[in-house]
């Protein structure tokens, strides 16, 4: 009998110098913050940098760990990070049909999937760090 099998993901709220947030338009979930699964042998911080670069073309500096969401049904632990854009150029991928920086207000209107709006709000609210949400 094997033990528990959890997946760890890493997503980032990435801000530019104007305080705008980086979003990607994914084929399945629409507009969302970039992120994805942590590979075996990879640190969570490295994973968030790699995923943002792969999905958006943007290089980031990780500012802080914000919190974690645990989805009990799908066995995913989703880590949430705050980062700032430090370079790169927009590029799309098979996981991102479009990429851009948007005001916080625009972003919260555009993001429709699951609790991703809540993740953005919590990640931007320093007083809530670190948060833990199980659902």
Predicted confidence (pLDDT) per residue in 22-65, tens digit = 999 999 999 999 999 999 999 999 999 999 999 999 999 999 99
The total of structural domains in the chain comes to 1
Is pTM beyond 0.95 here?
Answer: no
For 23-39, give the secondary structure using H, E and C.
Answer: EEEECCCEEECCEEECC
Domain CATH number, residue 45: 3.90.79.10
In a domain, 25, yes or no: yes
Domain of residue 93: give its range. 7-134
In a domain, 2, yes or no: no
In a domain, 97, yes or no: yes
Q: In the chain, where do the E strands start and end?
A: 7-15, 21-26, 30-32, 35-37, 58-71, 76-88, 98-102, 131-134
What is the average per-residue pLDDT within 4-17? Answer: 94
Q: Which pLDDT value is given to residue 75?
A: 95
Predicted confidence (pLDDT) per residue in 54-84, tens digit = 999 999 999 999 999 999 999 999 999 999 9
In a domain, 1, yes or no: no
Predicted confidence (pLDDT) per residue in 96-129, tens digit = 999 999 999 999 999 999 899 999 999 999 999 9
């Amino acid at each position: 009998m094997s033990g528990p099998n959890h997946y760890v993901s890493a997503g980032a709220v990435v801000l530019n110098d104007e305080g705008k947030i980086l979003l990607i338009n994914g084929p399945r979930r629409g507009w969302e913050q970039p992120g994805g699964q942590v590979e075996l042998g990879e640190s969570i911080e490295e994973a968030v940098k790699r995923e943002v670069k792969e999905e958006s073309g943007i290089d980031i500096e990780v500012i802080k760990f914000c919190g974690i969401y645990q989805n009990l049904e799908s066995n995913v632990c989703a880590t949430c990070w705050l980062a700032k854009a430090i370079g790169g150029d927009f590029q799309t991928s098979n996981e991102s049909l479009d990429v851009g920086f948007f005001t916080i207000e625009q972003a919260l209107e555009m993001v429709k999937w699951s609790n991703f709006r809540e993740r953005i709000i919590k990640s931007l609210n320093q007083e809530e760090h670190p948060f833990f949400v199980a659902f």
